[in-house]
Structure formats: C-alpha cells, structure tokens
Amino acid sequence: MEFILFIFLLSVVQCALGTSCRDNTGTCIASTSSCNGTLYSYACSGTDICCVPFAKNNNCGTTDVGQGKCVSSSSSCSGTTWPTTFCGSNKCCIEMSGTLGVDISELGSVNFFQCLKASGFEYVIIRASRSLGIVDHNAVPSILNALSAGFSDIDVYIFPDSRQNATKQMYNMVDYLNQDGVRYGRIWLDIEGRDTKYWSADKQTNRAFITELVNAGKSLGKDLAFYASKASWDFIVGSDFTPYGNMDLWYARYDWTQNFDDWSPYGGWTKPFMKQWSDSRSLPGLCGGPTPDLNWRPHNY
C-alpha cells in the first residue's frame, strides 16, 4: 500500500569467505574462484563474491515464495512460474495451495503486467484514490495496461482521508473510473494506520466516516470489501465495531507464507478472504516496474 518516505541508514551485513549469503542460498567465495551459478557482488566482505549455484537435483524456489522444480521454458506449469536465476535458461515452477496476485500504487506498463502474467500472478489490485483524498490518475492507464496484458481479475482500492468528505471521495473516484474501456471488479476500502495523520483520535468520528464511505459506495452499486489489520482496526474504530463482518476482508501479515494460519478473528470477521504476505520492500524490481505487494488467497475464493 502507500508508504511514507523516511530517511534512514541502510546497514549491510557482510559475510566472510565460506559463509552463507543471499538468504542462505549461496556461499561467499574468492573473486578469482569459479562459480557454477549466479554471482552477486554485494553480499560478502572485501572483494569476495556470493555464488548462488544453479538448482541442485532440479530443485528451485525462494524462502519468500516456496520450493519448486526447474522445468523447460516451454513447459506448462500448473503453479506459479517464479523469476529466478537458479534454473539457468529454464524456469522455476512452484506449486501453490492458492492463487497469487499483486497490488500496486504506481503506474504499471503493459510489459510489467505481461511479466506478472507470465510469472503466474492471476489478479491485480490498483490504487485509484490516494490518502490525500484525491484521485490517483495512474489508475486508469494501469487498468487498461493490465487488461491489454491479459488480466481479467482487476480490483481497485481507495486510501481515504478521514479529514475530507467520504461521499465526495468515493464519488470522485468512481466518476474518474467511468471511462471507456475501463473494467474493474470490487473496490477495497483501505483502512490502515495507527496514528492521527489519517484518522481522528475519536473512534466515533472514524466510525461515522467509514459508514458514510460504505454507504456512498453501495449507493453507486459497487461491490465493496475491506483491507484492514487487527491493530489498525482496533486503533481506528475499536474492537467492538463489528457491522461489516459479512463483507470480505483482506489483511496484511508479512510472514512470507501463503496460508491463513496466523489469522485470528476481529472486527466481526470470522475468516479472511485474502492475505498480503509480502510488502513491496521485500522483492524490489520484480518485473522491472513498480514494486508490488504480493497477495495470496485459496483456490476456492
């Protein structure tokens, strides 16, 4: 979702010769040594380099996504085809227990979405209204580009500003999306944050705002759902605010697992619909476009 820019110092942990590197997938070797795999120059100390070998016994995958098998680049894959160097010129096929999708808050090109589609992602969620309470004008071109790339499961999300009129924000966004060729599914209401930058310190005020936002969307005939974590929901409206338990819930937990094992009920919801399991900082540069958040949901959802 949206991120607030912080200036920070990046500390790099370097590895000594012979130790593991690249999330335990490789080994630090001397720069003069040979490597039957891919070399990375930034993960080891001094002039040493990190050697990540090509797949052994045809195994591949990452700690973020899971383990799979290297298959020919022309072979079909019933799971997710993950971009990796472990398979050389082949591809890594990872069997999934559900379906993967992404959400983005920047402009996505046709090539970007084509890459995601080829990698096994099945749905996209695109920001259509920003936390400043204004329309995100990257949404329509991103939707059209995703459609051109072959995506049919496309949703949008609104990050509302509770200091502004809820109905106006919803109407402005939907009016913007009502353009020729634009097709999208549901609208996700992004209810997040645990400070008073976006939300009132008064929970009753926040409850009234969210209720107005829901009513505005329903008055336009839109299919609505919520993005909210337990911590944010409790801070913004309180744990006893439970009127939307019959609407689908998308939640975030960056544990890099594709299941709901970490989830427990809150806000009137007895089960989630979808999980955001990796944020955009985990896999920078995926498919050469805006770095997406990664999402998972069961096959039958």
| Per-residue H/E/C for the chain | CCCCCCCCCCCCCCECCCCEECCCCEEEECCCCCCCEEEECCCECCCCEEEEECCCCCEEEECCCEEEEEECCCCCCCCEEECCCCCCCCEEEECCCEEEEEEECCCCCHHHHHHHHHCCCCEEEEEEECCCCCECCCHHHHHHHHHHCCCCCEEEEECCCCCCCHHHHHHHHHHHHCCCCCCCCCEEEECCCCCCCCCCCCHHHHHHHHHHHHHHHHHCCCCEEEECCHHHHHHHCCCCCCCCCCCCEEEECCCCCCCCCCCCCECCECCCCEEEEECCCCCCCHHHCCCCEEEEEECCC
pLDDT < 70 positions in the chain: 1-18, 22-25, 36-43, 53-67, 78-86, 95-96, 280-285, 301
Residue 13's pLDDT is what? 34
What pTM does this model have?
0.72
Give the per-residue pLDDT at 40: 67
Tell me: the pLDDT tens digits for 62-81? Answer: 544 556 778 887 777 766 66
What pLDDT is recorded for position 45?
77
Catalytic positions, written as ranges: 103, 190, 192
